[in-house]
Amino acid sequence: MPETIPDNSVGIVVPQTLSFDQPLQLSCGRTLAKYELVYETYGTLNSDASNAILICHALSGNHHAAGYHSIDDKKPGWWDNYIGPGKPIDTNEFFVVSPNNLGGCHGSTGPASINPETGEYYGPDFPLVTTKDWMHSQARLADKLGIQQWAAVIGGSLGGMQAMQWAVDLPERIRHAVVIAAAPRLSAQNIAFNEVARQAIMSDSEFHAGHYLAKNTLPRTGVSLARMVGHITYLSDDAMGSKFGRELRTDSIKYDYDAQFQVESYLRYQGEVFSESFDANTYLLMTRALDYFDITEDYSGDLGAAMKQTQCKFLLVSFTTDWRFAPERSVEIVNALVEAGRDVGYAEIEASQGHDAFLLPIHRYQDLFSAYMINVAKEVSTT
Amino acid sequence: MPETIPDNSVGIVVPQTLSFDQPLQLSCGRTLAKYELVYETYGTLNSDASNAILICHALSGNHHAAGYHSIDDKKPGWWDNYIGPGKPIDTNEFFVVSPNNLGGCHGSTGPASINPETGEYYGPDFPLVTTKDWMHSQARLADKLGIQQWAAVIGGSLGGMQAMQWAVDLPERIRHAVVIAAAPRLSAQNIAFNEVARQAIMSDSEFHAGHYLAKNTLPRTGVSLARMVGHITYLSDDAMGSKFGRELRTDSIKYDYDAQFQVESYLRYQGEVFSESFDANTYLLMTRALDYFDITEDYSGDLGAAMKQTQCKFLLVSFTTDWRFAPERSVEIVNALVEAGRDVGYAEIEASQGHDAFLLPIHRYQDLFSAYMINVAKEVSTT
């Protein structure tokens, strides 16, 4: 292992791809005849396949959750703080599977893929997929990998919602659900921010009704704006304050509309970088999957009834300054689980970073997450 | 008075315009050779001009704060809940002056006006103005109206910031400042939302570097997006939840990107209407004036030192669910005023509506505002 890669890293990882030829019936009524899923794995599957963990990613995430793709990589995968030898999701104990979601833009079949039936980009013709569709596609991935039951399904934000979907809809295939910084469904405000993002993308003159790849262009402005809006909602007011305050990039105010405050140039830069690497149609699809997510949809809005379907144990985590999916949203779920008689742990973590906290190394969060996962590992050993 | 207009309305009002030929030196270093201000007045100025009240408007506000322009008007002015006979700002007691700010787009000279020196629209060449510039232009308006000292300067949000600017910079010309839902300066998050709005406008292909009027077009998409973002920040999560929830416009989910949730169509409609009536350059200018506002700018960031300059009495009001300018921001000001030995009243009003609450009829807010203004009126009578 190269010297630059720390000992507690999973090291260099190589993404793998599996093809699925059995048609997948989707929530929207359409069927996907065939598709590919790209995924990474960390650790080793044990003989009875009882130590497997599924990582579900959030809106802009992907399969690269831990380790490095090459020794030149500047940054490891998005959840490297939590996945690795000796880390909360301990790869000495677990076999971790981290797929890119169907509809994504990092290797799994999605709007930026070529439709094998037409030889053209799917673009806007790629069907809208939901958390349920993701769950079913992940279940098929589990089947191919020989995993009948996950030791745990784990995710933050939209990833946490997928973990909940597994717990409710495929209860016999999951022993633990770790649901971090999530909610039982989106609020009107959540949907409103998503709608602004979508309008920004769809009204970009380079969007071409979603056929921008065929036109050899990208709706950079719209995606950049969407990312800027999103970024603000991932951070707390406090976190932005301590990161940027009212600091200027120049010595004094210039009285124009250039980026003068540090926070302006930061957001513009983040938006621009994102707009080069993330597919606009995937962004639309992911925000719509969020809007449509409602763990109570098959239970007439009754969260208690939904949670009664579950059989697994739960850990729920929220963060004090997360205003996108505030602690109260997690408490709703916890209360419904307690009411249903489930074994549920819950921690509201004191953290200044807002929604983004779920990605960051925070001592109490790490300790608590580790403690929970050690118990998950103990069950594996005795399985 | 027409039957349709309620008894406690100021009735039909006619905007007036005053021209100013003395050059106005602006904060940005430029000078405005001449300009006009449009304003409305309600009530009667008393003989010693001691009962005059200045109303300062917020980002998208204007001079039409109360009453109706015609009997066909569907809605009265924007603060009709608080200005009128028997209302908190009682027009039986006070002479109320409500100007449209310089740089506005409702009659006062601004980017959408013709530059008399060129015969063309000012457009992006209109100088960026600040709360200080507004204060100086309002002081000249007071001079012309024969008002040496305001009984009170009153405003909410950006309007409250102007009231503070008066109290600090022209302390001898103001007896009371009523500062509602404001802050001593914008936070990084506030600036970030403004920046998203500006980027949306400036990246609209119809913006033409601000010369859209000369091109006989409007950057409707950008202004609409900017308004959508703004609107979300004016409402609380709770207010949006109780107003819209997750209600669909159709019987069931349609799995596309049309406006399906009520909150989506509401935001789109609000954005579209606004984009037809509000000048894009004015929106840029107003958000920038907000960004630049810092009541401590001449006092090295020392809020206490700034507040020591004041001589008037104060009422500050905040609203529990206002996350744009949260109660803590008002408390900062109150603490600095108390420290400076000023006479200051403060109320945090329980309200579910978020920042927008400052415009809405809320009993405790009305009662408290009225009680304060009755004391202001008593001072007038004994002047």
Question: Model confidence over A262-301: pLDDT tens digits?
Answer: 999 999 999 999 999 999 999 999 999 999 999 999 999 9
Dist CA A273 CA A266 (whole Å)? 11
Q: Does ipTM come in above 0.90?
A: yes
Report residue A244: phi and psi, to 5°: -120, -35
Of all residues in chain A, the one with the smallest CA distance to B29 is: A255
In this predicted model, what pLDDT tens digit does every residue of B71-106 receive, in sequence order?
999 999 999 999 999 999 999 999 999 999 999 999
Dist CA A238 CA A326 (whole Å)? 15
Which of A196, A268, A324 should we substitute to test contact with B (largest number of B Cβ atoms within 10 Å)? Answer: A196
Parts of chain A with a pLDDT under 50? 1-2
Sorting pLDDT into bands at 50, 70 and 90, what band is B1?
very low
Token pair 């408490």: residue: A331
What local confidence, expressed as pLDDT, does residue B4 receive?
A: 76
Exactly one of B113, B322, B330, B356 is catalytic; name it: B322
Q: How many CB atoms lie within 10 A of CB B89?
A: 26
Candidates A261, A264, A288; nearest CB to B257: A288
What local confidence, expressed as pLDDT, does residue B5 receive?
A: 86
Which alpha helices (H) appear in chain B, and where do they start and end? 131-144, 158-169, 188-202, 220-234, 237-243, 262-277, 280-292, 303-308, 327-339, 363-381
Report residue A37: phi and psi, to 5°: -125, 130
Q: What global pTM score does this model have?
A: 0.95
Longest CA–CA span in chain B (Å) reads 68
Output Rg (C-alpha) for chain B, integer angstroms: 21
Q: Which two tokens stand for residue B230?
A: 């703004």
Dist CA A281 CA A288 (whole Å)? 11
Please answer whether residues A317 and A351 qualify as being in contact, where contact means their C-beta atoms are separated by less than 8 angstroms.
no
Dist CA B5 CA A106 (whole Å)? 61
Dist CA B288 CA A313 (whole Å)? 51
Which residues lie across from A316 on neighbouring strands? A179, A346
Please answer whether residues A203 and A341 qualify as being in contact, where contact means their C-beta atoms are separated by less than 8 angstroms.
no
Q: Find the mean pLDDT for residues B186-195.
A: 96
Half-sphere exposure of A99 (CA within 13 A, CB side): 26
- Chain A, chain B: beta-carbon pairs less than 8 Å apart: 143
The reply to whether B355 belongs to the active site is yes
The reply to whether B343 belongs to the active site is no
Which residues lie across from B349 on neighbouring strands? B319
How far CA A161 is from CA of A59, A164, A236, B228, B319, in Å, comes to 11, 5, 21, 27, 33
What local confidence, expressed as pLDDT, does residue A382 receive?
A: 59
Dist CA A158 CA A62 (whole Å)? 12
In this predicted model, what pLDDT tens digit does every residue of B199-254 receive, in sequence order?
999 999 999 999 999 999 999 999 999 999 999 999 999 999 999 999 998 888 99
Dist CA B371 CA B98 (whole Å)? 22
Report residue B366: phi and psi, to 5°: -60, -45
Exactly one of B113, B137, B157, B236 is catalytic; name it: B157
What local confidence, expressed as pLDDT, does residue B3 receive?
A: 60
What local confidence, expressed as pLDDT, does residue A1 receive?
A: 44
Of all residues in chain A, the one with the smallest CA distance to B236 is: A189
Dist CA A102 CA A79 (whole Å)? 20
CA dihedral A144, A146, A152, A154 (to 10 degrees): -20
Of all residues in chain A, the one with the smallest CA distance to B228 is: A196
